[in-house]
Amino acid sequence: MKQIDSLTALPPRAGALLTEITETPDFDTALWKMLLEYMALKIEHLKQQIKAFEAKWGMGFEAFSERMASSGLNSGAYTYEVERDSWEWEKAETLLRHYEALQARWM
């Protein structure tokens, strides 16, 4: 993992905005708070995406992938809609695991 040089500076206006947004006077605390909140928002968004796919297809991703591989989906396993949903769903599942692992590591 690449280390950030401790001499890297944030422009004063950006630092001021960051402390205002987080309502935290300390820059380090404000940055940490912003990053953790961003991660929580990403996780929630990904969970909502996954939930929408589960509702649309009436199953979880693993079952969907298995049925897609065996051409067991009613709408055809190789239509554009099915392929697009498969890619987007897999992406959401992968990113969710990634962000949850980061959250567990840094919280």
pLDDT digits (tens, 9 = 90+) for 81-102: 888 999 999 999 999 999 999 9
Residuewise pLDDT in 10s, the chain (107 residues): 455 555 567 888 988 999 999 999 998 899 999 999 999 999 999 999 999 999 999 999 999 998 888 877 766 656 888 889 999 999 999 999 999 999 999 88
3 state SS of 59: coil
3 state SS of 48: helix
Residue 9: DSSP 8-state: -
Residue 96 and residue 43 in contact, taking contact as beta carbons nearer than 8 Å: yes
Query: CB neighbours of 46 closer than 8 A, spacing ≥ 6?
Result: 92, 95, 96, 99
Per-residue model confidence (pLDDT) at position 47: 98
Instruction: Supply the Cα-derived Rg of the chain in whole angstroms.
Output: 20
Q: Interior CA angle at 77 toward 76 and 78, to 5°?
A: 95
Return the number of other C-beta atoms located less than 10 Å from residue 80's C-beta. 8
pTM of this structure: 0.81
Helix 12-22 crosses helix 27-57 at what angle (to 10 degrees)? 60
